[in-house]
């Protein structure tokens, strides 16, 4: 993406660094990262791009090209969440400002910068545009400051920014995938031990994203309510399983034995998490065998659970998933992201991908009366910082 011209037009100088941080799609393991579970995300070839240059005045000037908006804030005032004029920072600027706050809290140097940025990750679609912004800015300040912190640590600092500065109680998966992506691979990530390994995607299968066109805001959605339900489940189950620390610590058969002690709604939320973690373990084995058929069946099962037990799907998303069952070459489909709108992820036989994309879009428009953006994606590398090209 060419950001050189808009950067030079805005700041009357040349950028010195170019940063790319990908969005992510989660193949399996939804709403389990804040339950110490295992997840299977993929870093996408849709990303946030920054063009930047350092300054000496400890002011960060942001030009959000997609929004047509700009703001500046002082690094020493970042905790106050105000711009250089003392006005509240707009919501979109709190993601980079939160990263500056988290880095300083960790004792890392953050210097002034002029930054123009743009994204090919749809905002609010469940592909982690916010995490990509956070990781991009963390990568930028790491390069500018010359300090040595690995990508996993970068992801953890970005999660801290989103949790404690922006105010969204997200898990670590989104930032991890954006920071640590591997070309052509899904990422098996244990959110408790923080151990991870890349696993090759099934040969001959491709990822297709279908954007329902329905948007949601995490901070105003029921995301935090779902997290609280999981915490309540652990608290109640702890009376019967004192060694439990998280829902990750109870197997599906054990949960079946103890779920009667939970209120019905809490039991439904917890059952999704417990069974979803088990699905991820089965999916790892399927990837190791290169078994796209089994992997796809687990995706469909995961969607049904998100719809019926976790109750984060919506009719438009359910329709997108249902249509895929009629289309040749589709191994599996499911809601991806927090829910309440956004996208589905589809695992499709490569030879059928073009026809699948066209048919899914046309059928959705006929039945939903609205347009879906349906596109092919590839698994990409994580955050990258390079000298700016002129």
DSSP string, 238-264: TTT-TT-SSGGGS-HHHHHHHGGGS-H
**b (16+ CB within 10 A) / e for 273-284:** bbbbbbbbeebb
CA–CA separation, 19 and 136 (whole Å): 6
Paired tokens of 259: 């779920």
Q: Determine which one of 33, 45, 83, 174 is catalytic.
A: 174
Q: How far is it, in rounded angstroms, from Cα 342 to Cα 338?
A: 8
C-alpha–C-alpha distance, residues 265 and 52, integer Å: 48
Residue in 315, 211, 311 with CA at minimum distance from that of residue 271: 311
Tell me if residue 174 is catalytic: yes
Helix, strand or coil, per DSSP, at residue 38: strand
What is the CA angle 89-91-94, rounded to 5? Answer: 65
Q: Which residues are catalytic?
A: 174
């Amino acid at each position: 993406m060419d950001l050189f011209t808009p950067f030079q037009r805005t700041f009357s100088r040349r950028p010195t660094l170019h940063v790319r941080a990908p969005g992510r799609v989660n193949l399996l393991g939804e709403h389990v990262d804040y339950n110490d579970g295992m997840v299977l995300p993929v870093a996408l070839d849709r990303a946030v791009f920054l063009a930047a240059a350092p300054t000496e005045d400890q002011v960060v000037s942001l030009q959000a090209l997609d929004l047509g908006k700009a703001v500046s804030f002082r690094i020493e005032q970042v905790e106050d969440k105000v711009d250089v004029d003392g006005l509240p920072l707009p919501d979109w600027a709190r993601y980079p400002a939160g990263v500056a706050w988290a880095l300083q809290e960790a004792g890392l140097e953050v210097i002034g910068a002029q930054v123009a940025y743009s994204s090919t990750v749809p905002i609010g679609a469940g592909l982690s545009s916010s995490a990509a912004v956070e990781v991009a800015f963390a990568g930028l300040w790491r390069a500018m400051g010359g300090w040595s912190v690995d990508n996993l640590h970068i992801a953890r600092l970005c999660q801290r920014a989103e949790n404690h500065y922006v105010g969204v109680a997200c898990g670590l998966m989104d930032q991890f995938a954006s920071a640590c992506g591997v070309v052509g691979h899904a990422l098996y990530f244990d959110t408790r031990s923080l151990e991870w390994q890349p696993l090759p995607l099934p040969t001959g299968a491709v990822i297709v994203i279908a954007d329902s066109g329905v948007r949601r805001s995490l901070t105003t959605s029921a995301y935090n309510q779902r997290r609280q339900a999981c915490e309540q489940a652990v608290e109640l189950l702890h009376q019967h399983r004192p060694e439990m620390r998280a829902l990750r610590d109870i197997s599906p058969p054990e949960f079946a034995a103890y779920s009667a002690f939970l209120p019905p709604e809490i039991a439904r939320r917890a059952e999704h998490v417990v069974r979803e973690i088990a699905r991820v373990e089965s999916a790892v084995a399927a990837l190791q065998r290169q078994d796209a058929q089994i992997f796809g069946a687990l995706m469909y099962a995961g969607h049904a659970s998100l719809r019926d037990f976790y109750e984060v799907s919506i009719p438009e998303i359910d329709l997108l998933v249902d249509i895929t069952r009629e289309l040749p070459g589709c191994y599996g489909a499911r809601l991806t992201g927090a829910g309440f709108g956004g996208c589905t992820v589809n695992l499709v036989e490569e030879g059928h991908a073009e026809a699948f994309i066209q048919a899914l879009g046309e059928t959705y428009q006929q039945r939903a009366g609205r347009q879906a953006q349906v596109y092919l994606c590839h698994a990409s590398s994580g955050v990258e910082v390079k000298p700016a090209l002129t």
